[in-house]
Amino acid sequence: MAELSLRNVSKRFGAVEVIRDLSLDIPSGEFAVFLGPSGCGKSTLLRMIAGLEAVGSGEIHLGGARIDTMAPGDRGIAMVFQHYALYPHMTVRENMAFGLRNIGTPPAEIERKIADAAEMLEIGELLARKPTQLSGGQRQRVAIGRAIVKQPRAFLFDEPLSNLDAALRSRTRIELARLHQRVSSTMIFVTHDQVEAMTMATRIVVMNQGRIEQVGTPMEIYQRPRTRFVAGFIGAPAMNFLPVTGVTGRGGMAVARLPDGSEVATEVPIGAVKAGATLTLGVRAEHVLPGNGAAAKVDVIERLGERTLVYANLSDGSAVVYDEPGDVQLSVGESVALTIDGAAAHLFGPDGLALHG
């Protein structure tokens, strides 16, 4: 295990700056997930850690040693790619042994490491097969096994589940979480899928346009987003955002007035609100409660089995989504009354930053 530190790392491709003066510390043994939309720089950052892209400026340290000046093979890192990168003419055993043979590992030790990895990943019966004889999920396990036998100080995963079907993705997420518990190594996983991030990470690094928006545990990021971008990117459905037409104080807290005239008593200190600032109220679907409240009309109903998402429009036309347990008896066009749980609501300033006490 080894701590990974990035210090003022930047990267350009021509005139385009894809990583902007980024600093980050990942403690030893952590399962960190780089999460963000396509083009945010997460895969480029991973490739710089692996040595597959040169660092434009800054430094990368692993276990206290600077590695950005080292060759990729000398960094003590193993990488699992999106497209497996297995040698098609080699068997599974030969694919897993290839890197170890190249560094002169004794044959008996190679066999022991392969056997241990195969048992951990339940691929012992596949060792004599070639990649063309394997399913997508089996190939991905082999790619992970090839990384495990190297016993690296850190594992890097570049969207390794994106080519799998939904059911297999779910199972593989669980397998990777179990793998982290077994090997206790530092792991960095890149994805644009928030479900993967929320279910596997010990900490999530949310990225946007080459910068870090927020670092925290999955529930910290979900419950207390630092920016409107994080609030909108994390969560399914996305957080509701409603314009605020005015703010008053009550008991030291901000009361936000919405365009339809309704008011939401938040737990944001009124002192955090600048006079005249353009604000946005954010609230998740589970904190919009049917009952006595603002008038709305049902627009779309999305039945998901264990819950139903209801998309509605307030009287001023503002769109809001809320959820109901099970199969709620509603029809499109039906009138409902909605109340926003102000204790769980967020206020965002014109710069997109969340207002907190």
The 10 Å CB-count burial string (b at 16+, else e) for 103-121 is eebeeeebeebbeebbebb
Q: Which residues make up the CATH 3.40.50.300 domain(s) of the chain?
A: 4-225
- What's the pLDDT score for residue 10? 96
Reported as a single tens digit per residue, the pLDDT across 240-257 is 999 999 999 999 999 999
Reported as a single tens digit per residue, the pLDDT across 32-89 is 999 999 989 999 999 999 999 999 999 999 988 999 999 998 898 988 887 778 889 9
Average pLDDT over residues 172-186: 79
Separation of alpha carbons 37 and 41, rounded Å? 9
Average pLDDT over residues 320-329: 89
Average pLDDT over residues 154-168: 80
- What's the pLDDT score for residue 152? 86
- What's the pLDDT score for residue 1? 57
Does the structure show a pLDDT above 90 at 336?
A: yes
Separation of alpha carbons 338 and 287, rounded Å? 10
- What's the pLDDT score for residue 221? 95
Output the CA–CA distances (angstroms, integers) from residue 280 to 50, 147, 224, 266, in the order listed. Answer: 40, 46, 15, 12
Class of domain 4-225: alpha beta
Contact 174, 180 (CB under 8 A): no
Q: Which residues make up the CATH 2.40.50.140 domain(s) of the chain?
A: 240-348
Residues ≥6 apart with Cβ < 8 Å to 215: 24, 203, 204, 205, 206
Average pLDDT, the chain: 90
- What's the pLDDT score for residue 357? 60
Q: Does domain 240-348 have CATH number 3.30.70.120?
A: no
Does the structure show a pLDDT above 80 at 148?
A: yes
Note the pTM of the prediction, 2 decimals. Answer: 0.88
Q: When comparing pLDDT for 57 and 166, which is higher? A: 57
